[in-house]
Structure 1
């Protein structure tokens, strides 16, 4: 609501973390706006559930996946 009061009209895309309240507010206040999960938060969530021991190679591979230009 604060962004709307400052003049923001319905954007085409909102990129954010996956906070359910934020996603719901975007859906309600910006009808038709697409939502995308932030890559940084997504990667952090993956790394947080990985085993901590000897995971540097896996983290490096994960980063290379997101840096790839083509599939």
Structure 2
């Protein structure tokens, strides 16, 4: 499982989302997750979004990272 990276650790081959930007908004991240899940042909899209909503913002980030960390780096 990947981790949430600092700017110096970002690998440029992945998409990067700066959590301090508007893209780091919880609703934006859920929309991105839904879009990515669809592109990847995931059948459990609703389950992923529900898991993101269960806890706080850190939980949302952890679920996002668990599901999409292999193609997206989250930048703090």
Q: Scaled by the length of structure 1, what TM-score is found?
A: 0.31
Structure with higher Rg: it is: 1
